[in-house]
Structure 1
Amino acid sequence: MEKKQLLQCIDDMTAGVDAVQRRVLEEILARNGESEYLASCGLSSASGGAAAFRAKVPMATYEDLKPYILRVAGGDRCPVLTGSGNPVSEFLLSSGTSGGEPKLIPAVEDELDRRLLLHSLVAPLMNQCVPGLDEGSGLYFHFVRPEATTPGGLPARTVLTSLLKSDRFRNRPYDPYRGHTSPAAAVLCEDATQSMYAQLACGLRHRAAVTRVGAAFAYGLLRAVAFLQRHWASLADDIEAGAPAAPGVLTDPSVRAAVAAALRPGDPDLARLIRAECSSSSEGGERWGAGIIRRLWPNARCLEAIATGAMAQYVPALGFYSAGLPIASTVYAASECHLGLNLDPLCGDPSEACYTLMPTMAYFEFLPLGLHDATELVELARVEPGREYELVVTTYGGLSRYRVGDVLRAEAGLHHNSAAPRFRFVRRAGVLLSVDVDKTDEAELHRAVARASAALPRGAAVLDYTSLVCADGVPGHYVVYWELAVEPELERC
């Protein structure tokens, strides 16, 4: 679709929230109404409408659905969670960041289409904020992870791995001046070191075309900067020679071939510039890399990465390395389903981004914080601004009234033509520090660290932090561990 059509698609998706959500729920029930899980809740083909769904189906956690999920993963071809005409085609692995081990989230074939559609809307949104942004290339650090196969023969992989291994991505032609600078072979290499090296090499070789630099999460961009600090000399040598060194870092033949094609012919002038920028100290004797992103990619106009929630702690470091380039948190997504878009991606503090849930992605309900009964669930069009809710989704992949675990705050105001409410990510449900009756969530902890870090001496900054509760003495207290960067280089202490 053309840009205007894509932008119109957003308006169409969000114009009639109630009607769209009713249609989505009806579609899901038509597909999955015969499933064993919904039958166990008291739904039948004769009484499987929206009203019966809301009256009979309880809220569910992963543990509630786990026996059904494991049956499908084990090869049960009965309509366990989804209907017989809508079989589970793969399992998406949750990150496991809040609950320990990754969860197996069922997905169906056309879920990929919904996810890709949402991603296709990012470029026209960003181009509205920064006209001409899509005329150059994006340097995106994307990585696949090794995938597994369930006992029943279905793939189990991360959401990003599923997207990147799709035919649409794998079969795209390589063009450093349109789309992404990273060749498909580099992105699809499961060796993270080779993949990062190859993506940096191609991104540096075509630095003039790069108008945006991104990664899935803010921390991914910091990983790229740290990798550049360790490997800039080898990268400069390869760019000067017009081919990867032998044996070098790149041992995968397909990756070497893709990088060799991107580096030809050699560019001695660029190699000298990389050496000069990366070997020199930052002005004022501060730590390595001040403004390095903007210095190496001078036409980059923004960074794209999720910087909300736990990623907010990395915003100051990204500001240091990019000389203050704006950061866009564009997509709100989960393993369960893609959820929404930030319709004002360069507006304000990136850690405070607001997302508009796209009502075609799934059926959304919201549990007011402090309540526990499914009868208290609120539909998307009826949330109250200023109130916090736990997100509950019903997906095409067979999750019914599933508690995602995200706590969102409904924000006042709608975006332009959108009738869909906006939400701010607050925290993961249950992620709390607690001493006695005190409870501190991750947002409060982040604010405390930000305030305390202002007292650090010049040339020092917080790279990362973690925390725990110490109840060995009275009174109990929290212990916060900081990982600091100090001049002249990124020394860890």
Structure 2
Amino acid sequence: MDGKRLEYKGEEALKELEKSTVKVDEVQEDILKEILKRNGQTEYLKQFMKGSTDVSTFKRLVPVITYSSICPYIQRIANGEDSSLLSAHPITEMLRSSGTSAGEPKLMPSIAEDLDRRTFVYNLIMPIMNQYIPGLDKGKAMYLYFAKGERSTPSGLPIRPVLTSYYKSKHFKCRSHDPFNDFTSPDQTILCTDSRQSMYCQLLAGLLHRNHVLRLGAVFASAFLRAINFLERNWVHLCNDIRSGQLDPSITDPGCRSAMMELLTSPDPVLADKIEAICSSKSWKGILCQLWPRAKYIEAVVTGSMAQYIPTLEFYSAGKLPLLCTMYASSECYLGVNLKPLCDPADVAYTILPNLGYFEFIPLGNNGSLVEEEEEEEVTRSKMVDLAHVRLGGYYEIVVTTFAGLYRYRIGDVLQVIGYHNKAPQFRFVCRRNVVLSIDTDKTSEEDLHKSVTMAKKLLEPYEALLVEYTSCTDTSTIPGHYVLYWEIVSHRSTMNELTRLETHVLEECCMAVEESLDYVYRRCRTFDRSVGPLEIRVVEPGTFELLMDLCISQGGSINQYKTPRCIKCNSTLDLLNSRVCGSFFSPRDPIWIP
């Protein structure tokens, strides 16, 4: 395909989207042909295709894989062997996945032109938004973005998260000419790898520009809420900086100091008093609209496991700011966009863009499980479905083939087809396939867990209490083993320390509500087989999940990509959670089970 198409912006980018989604089958075949033409002589493909570049040969002989199969090739390149093991084009960097969805972080090969594909997706967002909310070029965006420190492979290739790669690229740095990309945060504050100093300066810049801000956001809802929590703890210091016109001495990063002193040109006691009056209010309900009165929406991922943050975001905006999910991306490959960004978060559908990579799909059962209980590495190639031939309502696991050297690679995301744009399927993100709780024959997916917790947390509402974060594990130290949920709860009418005084029966009923919402097999194991013990909720002290994020970041994770893991197996993480438990509650009776 013509690489120039990826450079389109504005209306031209929308026209390219329309053109590619009308001819999905043709565009996808062209993409695969181009990948095979380029990379057919790589060591990886030659072992299966014997030098052929035929599409049908690829589909017949190249296996569907997970990371364990491609990892040895990636490690060899990282150690200094030639990129031609996987890609005809030089691999310029290794993209480090967050590792918080499931398992350990992974390294994904990336070539220079991958940045063009990612930028094409970013260039689509504002033209799409402008169709629904005009005038967004007349103000600023307070987007809280964070770069992560990088390291190198033994051969000298940079290792960094995909978003850090983008923030350091010329594509991001040259956005100043685009009025839709006028951010409150100076680049130096985004690129600062000290997350506290970066957060402090970006919030300070956002407050200084408060009357010009039209958009609020972060990559994930969790990062945006972390910023609000940071603001709650530090607004006094931020007001002092504005009042005095001097930056807090705790900000020592040279880039941050230089950039922020260009904004803090003189004392502004009027602005400081205004922000102080807002932040010193007893309740922070609706505070986002008070601090940034012209803001029109919050942009962040609130689908999948991020959906549980919606009530908290709605509290801080008093329900006045729409929550927008604009794009679907991963470290492996950018995938699609939401063409109806103002829809309810529960109705978000991502249109997969056929010009970004080659996409195939593994058909799944109606609950997102593998058909016929196939093993991870034993997916029958003949069952794979092309992008143009998925069926409406069907559940699939997405498989990608990229120019950078991933071939029929299972990302691990479960999607459901819920509509079409032209001939391009639109998908609802369901969950990560490999995040489950299991004691016996029960298998609880991330989506099942989220649904059950969503039902149970409603029992807290009469007490004006809110579940702000949760995770889970299986405890097999008991006989039988049982599920454990860690809940962090805050109240909007009482102090945080009083939350532990919620009547015992309320949390016990929450345990029951979770169990009653889990599937038939789980309830059978609990009630009939007795192979699973009563579910336990451990209430943790306020701030626990922020410490959990800090732990992940200290171990090399990225604040941009951090997603609270919904199932935890790491001993150090469990030790942290268990050290903060202030109350433990069990289901008082068996869930209902009808044979």
With the shorter chain as reference, the TM-score category is over 0.9
Letter of the 2:202 counterpart: Q
Alignment of 1:314-393 (within 5 A): 314-324=309-319, 325-348=321-344, 350-369=345-364, 370-371=370-371, 372-393=379-400
**1:59 to partner: Cα distance:** 0.6
Letter of the 1:313 counterpart: Q
Deviation sequence 1:318-355 (CA, Å, 0-9, x none): 1111121111111100010100001111112x144210
Cα distance, 1:149–1:2 mapped onto 2, change above 3 Å: closer
**1:89 to partner: Cα distance:** 0.9
TM-score, L = length of structure 1 = 0.93
Letter of the 2:412 counterpart: G
Letter of the 2:112 counterpart: E
**1:206 to partner: Cα distance:** 0.6
Letter of the 2:467 counterpart: V
Q: Name the structure 2 match of 1:275.
A: 276
Alignment of 1:440-459 (within 5 A): 440-456=444-460, 457-459=462-464
**1:489 to partner: Cα distance:** 4.9
* Contact persistence 1:177–1:209 (CA under 8 A): no
Matched, 1:414 2:415: no
Letter of the 2:352 counterpart: L
Deviation sequence 1:25-58 (CA, Å, 0-9, x none): 01111111110000111331xx211111111101
Alignment of 1:90-105 (within 5 A): 90-105=93-108
**1:477 to partner: Cα distance:** 3.5
| SS of match in other structure, 1:336 | coil
User: Hey, what's the Cα distance between the residues in 1 that align with 2:178 and 2:261?
Assistant: 14
* Contact persistence 2:149–2:193 (CA under 8 A): yes
Cα distance, 1:107–1:296 mapped onto 2, change above 3 Å: same
**1:436 to partner: Cα distance:** 2.4
Cα distance, 1:295–1:41 mapped onto 2, change above 3 Å: same
Cα distance, 1:242–1:173 mapped onto 2, change above 3 Å: farther
Alignment of 1:49-198 (within 5 A): 49-77=54-82, 79-83=84-88, 86-173=89-176, 179-198=182-201
Letter of the 1:201 counterpart: L
Matched, 1:39 2:43: no
User: Hey, what's the Cα distance between the residues in 1 that align with 2:298 and 2:80?
Assistant: 43
User: Hey, what's the Cα distance between the residues in 1 that align with 2:450 and 2:440?
Assistant: 21
* Contact persistence 2:102–2:435 (CA under 8 A): no
Cα distance, 1:281–1:327 mapped onto 2, change above 3 Å: same
Q: Name the structure 1 match of 2:441.
A: 437
Letter of the 1:429 counterpart: R
| SS of match in other structure, 2:416 | strand
TM-score, L = length of structure 2 = 0.77
User: Hey, what's the Cα distance between the residues in 2 that align with 1:117 and 1:78?
Assistant: 25
Q: Report the RMSD for the aligned CA atoms in angstroms.
A: 1.8
Deviation sequence 1:300-319 (CA, Å, 0-9, x none): 11000011111111111111
Q: Which moved more, 1:2-11 or 1:150-159?
A: 2-11
**1:385 to partner: Cα distance:** 1.1
**1:241 to partner: Cα distance:** 2.2
* Contact persistence 1:135–1:178 (CA under 8 A): no
Cα distance, 1:10–1:176 mapped onto 2, change above 3 Å: closer
Matched, 1:479 2:484: yes
User: Hey, what's the Cα distance between the residues in 2 that align with 1:218 and 1:38?
Assistant: 39
Alignment of 1:166-315 (within 5 A): 166-173=169-176, 179-245=182-248, 247=249, 249-282=250-283, 289-315=284-310
Which of the pair is proportionally richer in helix?
A: 2
* Contact persistence 2:414–2:430 (CA under 8 A): yes
Identity of aligned residues (%): 48
User: Hey, what's the Cα distance between the residues in 1 that align with 2:388 and 2:343?
Assistant: 24
Deviation sequence 1:81-123 (CA, Å, 0-9, x none): 012xx11111101111234321010011100000011011111
**1:386 to partner: Cα distance:** 1.1
* Contact persistence 1:380–1:421 (CA under 8 A): yes
**1:196 to partner: Cα distance:** 0.5
Cα distance, 1:338–1:175 mapped onto 2, change above 3 Å: closer
Q: Which moved more, 1:331-340 or 1:171-180?
A: 171-180
| SS of match in other structure, 1:194 | helix
User: Hey, what's the Cα distance between the residues in 1 that align with 2:204 and 2:129?
Assistant: 26
Q: Name the structure 1 match of 2:431.
A: 427
Give ranges in structure 1 of 5+ residues lacking alignment: 283-288
Deviation sequence 1:126-184 (CA, Å, 0-9, x none): 12122222321110010001111000110010011000011232355599996111000
